[in-house]
Amino acid sequence: MSSVIRQIPLDTATQHHAHDFHQIVIGLQGRAEFEIEGLGGAISAFSGCIVPANHVHYYVGQGENRQLILDLPADAPSLTGYHHELSRLFDAPRFFALDTPLKHYLEFLLLEQNNGEQGLSAAQNDRLAATFLGCLHARLGGTASPPGVRRLDLAKLDRYIDRHLACPIAVADLAAQACLSEAHFRSRFREQTGLSPWQYVRRRRLEAARRLLEESRMPLSQIAVNTGFAHQSALTHAFRSTFGCPPSQLRRAVLERSAPEATNRLRHTT
C-alpha cells in the first residue's frame, strides 16, 4: 500500500481510536492535544507527533485548526526496501518540532500538494513521504555513546516513574533525572535496556496495573487513572496486546482462585 498525505482539521470534541498503519501529524494552524497510550503533548504550527500503528490515541483540536497527516502502512514504499530503516521512527510515540530546513521542506510539500487539479499520484506521495521521514529520522535518531560511559541508574528512574505513574511522563523528564540531553538519553537508554524510554514506561505502567488487578478490588477505571492511562479502554487495549488477555479476564481468574481459599479458611475457623 502507498503513503497518503492529507490535510484536515481535528474535531474540537475529544476522540480516540487506533489503526493498523503508522501516522505522523504535523500542525499547520491552531493547536491540538494528543495522548498516545500515556504519552501526552500538544502540537501547533511546525510541530507534530508520531503515532505508531495499533496505538490507542486520544486527540482534540482547539478552535480553528488544520493538520497535515501522513498515513503510512508498514508495507508502504516509504518504509520498505531502501527505506526500511525509517520504520524505526515508529518504535514508540513521540513529539517533535521542525527545524528551519524541515519547515522549508514542509512548505515545498504543501505547494506540491496544491499544484494541479488532479492531486498527487501514489508514487509522488511515497517519494515526498520518504524524503520527510528520512530527514526526521536523521534528527531524532540520536547518536551512539562513547565506550566506557557511565551506565544509567535504572533504579532511580524506576522510582521516578513509579511516583509519577498517574501523570504523563515525557522523555525530557527522564533525561533530566539522568542529567542528559533528551537525544543522548534516548540513545543511552536503548543501548542499555534494548527498549525505547516510552516502551519501558509503558511496560512499568502495565506491570503496576497487573499488580493492582491481582492485589486489590479497585475498579478498572480507577486502575487506568492510577497507572497513567487516559481511559479504561486504553488500558484494556494495551493490556491485551502485552499480556494476551483483557484485564477483566485476569481479575476473574484471580477471584476464581481466591474463592476456594476463602472457603477453606472458613472451614478451618468453624
By C-alpha distance, which of 55, 50, 52, 43 is closest to 10?
A: 43
Q: Residue 146's pLDDT band (boundaries 50, 70, 90)?
A: very low
Q: Distance (Å, rounded) from C-alpha 252 to C-alpha 99? A: 51
DSSP assignment of 106-156 equals HHHHHHHHHSSSS---HHHHHHHHHHHHHHHHHHHS--PPPTTPPPP-HHH
* Span 159-189, pLDDT tens digits: 999 999 999 898 899 999 998 888 889 888 8
Q: Distance (Å, rounded) from C-alpha 24 to C-alpha 90? A: 9
Give pLDDT, residue 260. 60
Q: Model's pTM, two decimal places?
A: 0.62
* 45 has pLDDT over 80: yes
Average per-residue pLDDT for the chain:
87
End-to-end CA distance of the chain: 68
In a 3-state reduction of DSSP, which class is residue 1? Answer: coil
In a 3-state reduction of DSSP, which class is residue 97? Answer: strand
Give pLDDT, residue 145. 43
Q: What is the CA radius of gyration of the chain?
A: 22
Of 53-62, 81-90, 134-143, 232-241, the poorest mean pLDDT is in: 134-143
* Span 50-80, pLDDT tens digits: 999 988 899 999 999 999 999 999 899 999 8
